[in-house]
Structure 1
């Protein structure tokens, strides 16, 4: 039975630079990259191509040494021009010089009726060989799902409340058949429910309301109401030993297209956002696209290019590459300056959750859009207990004590305090409101890795 959930805890970060619902024509980049660092738990990738090789979209580039049958494949066709490595020869990027016309590896096509009769094993096999399996994420841990597991349910968040987030109704417009086919594939992997959550404050999109074999839930409230982890917590919580899978709605459509068209097509509409972007809208690009062609659409020279949003995205520079799971690009100014008592001076232009620091901010109401930069307005200091984390965390866990348990490497307390229910995006708002400026998301990942390896 569908659920309607209203959340009160959280905080909406209303930034200037939201993408308009229009498609912008931008020259396609010359190079693309697949980055092992985009995949949690991928610690020992084995590269199966060398520089100078020609590949197609869907050709294998690397795999995890311990899980050789799940392939990580090229988003485009072209020539492998660089295998970038870091310390201890760690693979950082596999770069592809793209063809002018993208060619695809051919996988087996199925009609909608064929999909209903497709075996679970055949569906898993095609997903693993094409690279499509990497769209399926496991909770706990936030890593790529194990095909040998059976999740108790599968969750898809069809809306995003993070700053300047893309509108999935617009992004997936015209892809109804692919989304439904993706659902039909996913339902083979669980005897439980496939949950699709939509914004309870918005009009219900036909794309999601007409999708079959799902439970459509309405969630309303401030950020992080759109986070799939929050939705799992309130609808089908994870206990120790439980497994839940999650898929981004764009990933669902990719999976559906893989089976209906026989190609692994990573092209998507990506929201180009941020106060430094001149013309904001959506750009169609393949996964792993280089940002360099966007430079003419950006004001100023000292900017932070972010793959994703300002809370959880990755700063990658103007020549960086779109992250595998990202459907958004954000460009904001750098904040390379110091403020003398700047944090204590009242202002109407500073965005802050704390009324003591941004007291005049709240006089402008919720509709004011703020132009922010990367300045943290303070430096890292001792962990101060303020109770603020609990005010913005719409989950029945105690985040302050969880973070302390991680720092103390207390396994029992980490489990008891809910580490199985959260990944980085679920605590990103805690990092934003933290007066101690601690890297909360990094701390949580360290704890997750400890629990997973322990």
Structure 2
């Protein structure tokens, strides 16, 4: 099936990667971390304490809300920090790596069926690589999805083409797909770019879809909406293409694998490049000496929906495939009535500036929101950039007013924060819809 996404927005920034050759040597860091923000609503029961030595594969903690699944140590080392925020919310667990070789073995010789594969995913610590739709949480142990969705497209600004990485790890990716195909009740839906030439293994439950268009055509949420929209009854899981590769590498070697390819890019990066590193790597170490000095915003993930790398969360998100670096906004970025000036360097979703007529123009944007907060004004901008078959302006109003019943009727359960990032960027009212969305989803889940 072919789908063309015509509603959206391609944001072209300076600092793109021009050399798409994958690195051979790993960019290792002295510290790695597990971030609480990667696992919404997690309530960890800690099995370790600060200063304690751990080996790769040791149990670090269990989620009280999802008993039976443990988070495992990705490396040998020492627990450096266990950071908590307001109301003791879990922020991060930081491990200082030792020089010992990681040799935690996993049993990879078993009959391929749903029960055995699920047990393998739990014992190898890979169960947390999945996220549910609705709610975007780690699936409950012993649960089964209707479908699993995987996207081989990354349409985020400054992102690397996933197929470059998949081709380099083709055997592992195919093996991961083979084992995952026994998990869902119905299908694994895999989305590729319409120009893709990947010849994937023919599996009974595998369905391949072709997508083209503009961002967010690469987001799995957009693809789910077009293929098989989710609900409380029709639940699905999602998993990233690199996570499928990780599972395949473990099955090939019998040892835990925590390797991950990421892009380091953006206007403030000297030489944008692809790095081979590890899940949860220290971003400050990865970017040392590689970014322009000054006030920068270093982001784990896309400029549209990543998190700012600071404090206890200066680490790579498990679900981020890029590090983006832009200028931090300052008073100089605030200009009186800048929206009516004939600007030649600024970007607007409403095509208000001269740059709207310049093809292939690359922007050097800062973190400035270029304006102040105000009421939602229905000017049609959301309908222009949001591709899902939802009444988006009405839905956003329901989310902001926390009208959970109306929001459910309008399709909020299909959404994740990244799906609304394009609305946040384009919003004349300057709302952070992803943040509000999470609060409303939590309320819906709590109220049943």
TM-score scaled to structure 1, two decimals? 0.92
Count residues in correspondence. Answer: 440
Q: Deviations over 1:321-342 (max 9, x none)?
A: 1111111101111111221222
2:128 equivalent in structure 1:
134
Cα distance change, pair 159–216 in 1 and its aligned pair in 2 (3 A):
same
Q: Of the candidates 186, 192, 196, which is equivalent to residue 192 of structure 1?
A: 186
Q: Of the candidates 281, 285, 296, which is equivalent to residue 289 of structure 1?
A: 281
Q: Of the candidates 430, 437, 442, which is equivalent to residue 435 of structure 2?
A: 442
Does the residue aligned with 2:338 lie in a helix, a strand or coil?
coil
1:8 equivalent in structure 2:
6
1:407 equivalent in structure 2:
400
1:41 equivalent in structure 2:
41
Q: Please say if 1:384 is aligned against 2:382.
A: no
Q: Deviations over 1:228-253 (max 9, x none)?
A: 11111111122441111111000111
Q: Of the candidates 335, 358, 362, which is equivalent to residue 369 of structure 1?
A: 362
Q: Please say if 1:451 is aligned against 2:437.
A: no
Per-residue deviation, 1:54: 2.1
Per-residue deviation, 1:27: 5.1
2:267 equivalent in structure 1:
275
Please tell me whether the aligned partners of residues 15 and 370 of structure 1 are also in contact (alpha carbons under 8 angstroms). Answer: yes
Query: Within 5 Å, which residues of 2 pair with 1:122-201?
Result: 122-200=116-194
Q: Deviations over 1:157-196 (max 9, x none)?
A: 0011111112212223332221122112211112312111
Which consecutive unaligned segments of at least 5 residues does structure 2 have?
A: none
Cα distance change, pair 94–396 in 1 and its aligned pair in 2 (3 A):
same
2:328 equivalent in structure 1:
334
Q: Please say if 1:204 is aligned against 2:200.
A: no
Q: Distance in 1 between matches of 2:86 and 2:9?
A: 39
Q: Please say if 1:249 is aligned against 2:241.
A: yes
Q: Distance in 1 between matches of 2:15 and 2:78?
A: 36
Per-residue deviation, 1:291: 1.7
Cα distance change, pair 27–218 in 1 and its aligned pair in 2 (3 A):
closer
RMSD: 1.9
1:59 equivalent in structure 2:
58
Q: Distance in 2 between matches of 1:323 and 1:452?
A: 24
Q: Distance in 1 between matches of 2:27 and 2:222?
A: 38
1:424 equivalent in structure 2:
417
1:81 equivalent in structure 2:
80
Q: Deviations over 1:385-417 (max 9, x none)?
A: 222111111111012211222233333211110
TM-score scaled to structure 2, two decimals? 0.93
Per-residue deviation, 1:26: 7.4
Q: Distance in 2 between matches of 1:27 and 1:267?
A: 10
- The farther-off stretch of 420-429 and 56-65 is 56-65
Per-residue deviation, 1:143: 1.0
Please tell me whether the aligned partners of residues 347 and 356 of structure 2 are also in contact (alpha carbons under 8 angstroms). Answer: no
Which consecutive unaligned segments of at least 5 residues does structure 1 have?
A: none
Cα distance change, pair 280–23 in 1 and its aligned pair in 2 (3 A):
farther
Please tell me whether the aligned partners of residues 283 and 309 of structure 2 are also in contact (alpha carbons under 8 angstroms). Answer: no
Q: Distance in 2 between matches of 1:106 and 1:397?
A: 47
Cα distance change, pair 309–102 in 1 and its aligned pair in 2 (3 A):
farther
Q: Distance in 2 between matches of 1:377 and 1:441?
A: 19
Does the residue aligned with 1:270 lie in a helix, a strand or coil?
strand
Per-residue deviation, 1:344: 2.2
Does the residue aligned with 2:248 lie in a helix, a strand or coil?
helix
